[in-house]
Structure 1
Amino acid sequence: MSQTALPIQQQESTGTRKTGIMQILKKNRWGYLFLLPAFLIFTMFLWLPIVKGFYYSFFHVDFVKGDEFVGWDNYKTVFHDPDVGTSIKNTLYYMGLALVIGFWVPIVFAVMISELRKFQGIVRIAAYLPNVIPVVVLYGLWRWFYDPVGPINAAITTTAGGEGIAFMTDTAWSMISLVFMETWQQFGSAMLLYLAAVISIPRDWYEAAEIDGAGVWARLRYITLPSIKGLIGLMLMLQVIGTSQGYQSQMAMLDGGPNNATLTYALLVVKYATARLDMGVASAMGVLMFLVMSVLAIIQFRLQSKGEN
Structure 2
Amino acid sequence: MSVDTTTAAPPSPPSRADRAGRRPALRRDGRYAGVFLGPSLGGLALFTLFPTAMALAISLYDWPVFGERQFLGLDNYTHLMNDPVFRRVVLNTALFVVLYVPLNVVVSLGLALWLGPKIKGRQAFRVLFFIPVMTPMVANVMVWRLLFQPGGLIDSAMQTWFGVSAPNFLGSSNWAMLAIVTMSVWQGFGYNFLVFSAALDQVPQSQLESAQIDGAGVWQRFRYVTWPMITPSIFFATTMTLITSFQVFAQPFILTQGGPGVSTQTIVMYVYNQGWQFLTMGLASAAGWVLFVIIMGITAIQFLGQRKWVNYDV
Tell me how far 1:28 sits from its aligned partner: 5.7
- 1:102–1:179 Cα contact (<8 Å) kept: no
Q: Which residue of 2 aligns with 1:154?
A: 156
CA separation in 1, counterparts of 2:132 and 2:110? 17
Tell me how far 1:31 sits from its aligned partner: 4.7
Tell me how far 1:78 sits from its aligned partner: 0.9
CA distance 1:103–1:158, change in 2 (3 Å): same
Tell me how far 1:194 sits from its aligned partner: 1.0
- Alpha-carbon deviations, 1:226-282, whole Å to 9, x = none? 111122122222222211111111111211001211011121111111111101011
Instruction: Name the SS of the counterpart of 2:115 in structure 1.
Output: helix
CA distance 1:31–1:194, change in 2 (3 Å): farther
- 2:101–2:245 Cα contact (<8 Å) kept: no
Greater Cα offset, 214-223 or 280-289: 214-223
Letter in 2 for 1:54: L
Greater Cα offset, 20-29 or 200-209: 20-29
Greater Cα offset, 269-278 or 40-49: 40-49
Greater Cα offset, 113-122 or 143-152: 113-122
CA separation in 2, counterparts of 1:21 and 1:174? 65
CA distance 1:125–1:259, change in 2 (3 Å): same
Q: Which residue of 1 aligns with 2:92?
A: 90
Letter in 1 for 2:233: L
Runs of 4+ residues over 6 Å off in structure 1: 16-22
- 1:59–1:71 Cα contact (<8 Å) kept: yes
Tell me how far 1:162 sits from its aligned partner: 1.8
Q: Which residue of 1 aligns with 2:11?
A: none
Greater Cα offset, 27-36 or 278-287: 27-36
- 1:60–1:69 Cα contact (<8 Å) kept: yes
Q: Which residue of 2 aligns with 1:118?
A: 120
Specify which of 281, 284, 304 is matched with residue 282 of structure 1. Answer: 284
Q: Which residue of 1 aligns with 2:57?
A: 55
Letter in 1 for 2:165: E
Instruction: Name the SS of the counterpart of 1:228 in structure 2.
Output: helix
CA separation in 1, counterparts of 2:93 and 2:67? 35
Tell me how far 1:146 sits from its aligned partner: 0.8
- 2:239–2:299 Cα contact (<8 Å) kept: yes
Q: Which residue of 2 aligns with 1:186?
A: 188
Letter in 2 for 1:110: A
Which aligned pairs between 1:137-148 and structure 2 lie closer than 5 A? 137-148=139-150
Letter in 1 for 2:215: G
Instruction: Point out the structure with the larger helix share.
Output: 1
CA distance 1:153–1:24, change in 2 (3 Å): farther
Letter in 2 for 1:144: L
Tell me how far 1:40 sits from its aligned partner: 2.3
- 1:178–1:250 Cα contact (<8 Å) kept: yes
CA distance 1:203–1:38, change in 2 (3 Å): farther
Tell me how far 1:184 sits from its aligned partner: 0.8
CA separation in 1, counterparts of 2:230 and 2:301? 20
Instruction: Name the SS of the counterpart of 1:86 in structure 2.
Output: helix
CA distance 1:289–1:135, change in 2 (3 Å): closer
CA separation in 1, counterparts of 2:59 and 2:22? 42
- 1:95–1:240 Cα contact (<8 Å) kept: yes
Query: What 5-or-longer segments of structure 1 have no aligned partner?
Result: 1-15
CA distance 1:217–1:77, change in 2 (3 Å): same
Q: Which residue of 2 aligns with 1:216?
A: 218
CA separation in 1, counterparts of 2:233 and 2:182? 23
Q: TM-score, normalised by structure 2?
A: 0.86
Greater Cα offset, 47-56 or 65-74: 65-74
Q: Which residue of 1 aligns with 2:133?
A: 131
Tell me how far 1:292 sits from its aligned partner: 2.1
CA separation in 1, counterparts of 2:89 and 2:174? 16
Pairing 1:231–2:205 present = no
Specify which of 164, 168, 174 is matched with residue 166 of structure 1. Answer: 168
CA distance 1:17–1:297, change in 2 (3 Å): farther
Q: Which residue of 1 aligns with 2:46?
A: 44
Q: Which residue of 2 aligns with 1:202?
A: 204
Q: Which residue of 2 aligns with 1:5?
A: none
CA separation in 1, counterparts of 2:68 and 2:119? 66
- Alpha-carbon deviations, 1:102-141, whole Å to 9, x = none? 2211111111112434211111111111222222321221
Same amino acid, percent of matched pairs: 28
- 1:230–1:304 Cα contact (<8 Å) kept: no
CA distance 1:18–1:184, change in 2 (3 Å): farther
Tell me how far 1:42 sits from its aligned partner: 2.4
Tell me how far 1:49 sits from its aligned partner: 1.6
Specify which of 37, 40, 55 is matched with residue 35 of structure 1. Answer: 37
Tell me how far 1:306 sits from its aligned partner: 5.1
